[in-house]
Structure 1
Amino acid sequence: MNIFSRTKARHQVDEAQIKVTNWKLACGALFLLCVLQAVGFIVYPKLIKIHHPPDTSKSMLTALNEIPPAQVQGFSFMILQQLNNLKDDGKYTAENQLTRLRCFMTEDYFYLKLRTARNASLSFNDRNRAMSVYTAIPPNPYEQVTILTPTSWNVKLYTTITESAGGELIKDNVPFLYNLQVVADNSDPSCNEYGLKLAGENDVPRRIRTEIN
């Protein structure tokens, strides 16, 4: 009888030790899970990219003559980028670009830019310039395009400019804000298939100040 009692007691002790071991393993696994979750909260937000959906405040259907803000912004940047791409000899490139893109500007704005280019011709000598999107402020037509009338808009363009003169780099991806006027004009679709034109500038291009650590 005593032998069976000792065996039963030993069996209970073994079961208790197994349960303790299982609890230790479970607690260890939970602790490891908490550590991994804490690391995830710190690291993964830096790796996550959030893709905002398009403007859903109204139906995706547009009226026959309605021009979406995204189209206005894309057109504005395309023309502005080409006007600011100067290669080899900026003195002649600037005027050539203006002449080539005349269909995409109103007459008043074209002659204003032409006079500006000619007045600055000396500073354009041996100058190369390239413009790109300022990625720190991604294009957002629903915030950066202001609808004035169904056929006129104000457009803010956040860009960067890289410029060299005489082979020496003088601007390296310097961010600038352009505030342009755009109007609808379908008077010559054979020359301008977009039906839009740059009409002016609301302000001089302003350099965007960035923090330097």
Structure 2
Amino acid sequence: MSFKNILDTEQQASRFKTRIIFGQFLLMFIMALGWSSAPTQISLHYPPDLRSGGSMKVGEIHESEVYLFASYILQQLNNWKENGEIDYLNKVNILRSYFTPTYQAYLLRDYETRKQQGELRRRVRNWIPIADAVFEESFVEHVGKNWIVWIDVQIEEYINGGIVKSLINRIPMQVV
């Protein structure tokens, strides 16, 4: 084999490798464009609702999820185990990331008003979802980007072990 043939073979190999490298850079550029145009955050909601199964649209939120969320947050906020004067404010602070600033300000004003009137001292509150209440789509109303949720609860309040309030009520909550 002559020196010229060896040189031609090496030049061919070099051109081939250059084309491969150029192709890889082109592929990486196309992938980077696709990656940059992809959404930065995708929220998937999989409710325990057997009607829709596991096929969901991105960003779609079912009424059952909104109902469960609202019910859980209100139950956490309104269960005072030992002393409403301490527990109420603690719950507002713990759950503040779930509240709008307006609602949080309302809760803090409500706390101060009740504290000044002596309503919270040694008060225990049990917020119990009604056992017979089964989720119905009529409990959740979609209004624009928000929801109005109606939750059936039994509220029992005690002071020094004596019952002062026991009622069944339907409570509305706006979920933003």
The normalised TM-score by structure 1 is: 0.55
Q: Residue 129 of structure 1 aligns with which residue?
A: 125
Q: CA deviation at 1:136?
A: 3.9
1:167 is matched with which residue? Answer: 161
Give the equivalent residue in structure 2 for 1:177: 170
Q: Which residue identity does 2:168 align to in structure 1?
A: P
1:138 maps onto 2:134 in alignment: yes
Aligned partner of 1:79 in structure 2 is 73
Structure 1 segment 36-115 matched on structure 2, within 5 A: 60=53, 61-115=55-109
CA-to-partner distance for each residue in 1:114-157, whole Å, 9 max, x for gaps?
A: 110110011010000011111343232x11001112x3101000
Deviations 1:67-98 (A, max 9, x none): 11111000001010011111221111101100
Match of 2:142 in 1: 147
Gaps of 5+ in 1: 1-53, 184-213
Distance 1:129 1:165 in 2: 9
How many angstroms does 1:101 deviate by?
0.3
Query: Which SS does the other structure have where 2:170 is aligned?
Result: strand
Q: 1:157 aligns with which of 151, 154, 176?
A: 151
Unpaired runs of at least 5, structure 2: 1-48
Q: What percent of counterpart residues are identical? A: 26
Counterpart code for 1:176: N
Count of aligned pairs between the two proteins: 125
- Give the counterpart letter for 2:103 in structure 1: Y
Over alpha carbons, which structure has the higher Rg?
1
Q: Name the amino acid aligned to 1:123.
A: E
Give the match for residue 201 of structure 1: none
Counterparts of 1:114 and 1:138 in 2: how far apart (Å)?
A: 32
Partner in structure 1 of residue 113 of structure 2 = 119
Q: Which amino acid aligns with 1:161?
A: I
Instruction: Give, in whole Å, the separation in 2 of the partners of 1:138 and 1:113.
Output: 28
* CA–CA separation in structure 2 for the residues paired with 1:83 and 1:158: 15
CA distance in 1, matches of 2:67, 2:133: 14
C-alpha RMSD of the superposition: 1.6
The Cα shift of 1:55 comes to 8.3
Aligned to 1:25: none
State the one-letter code of the partner of 1:127.
R
Tell me what 1:51 maps to: none
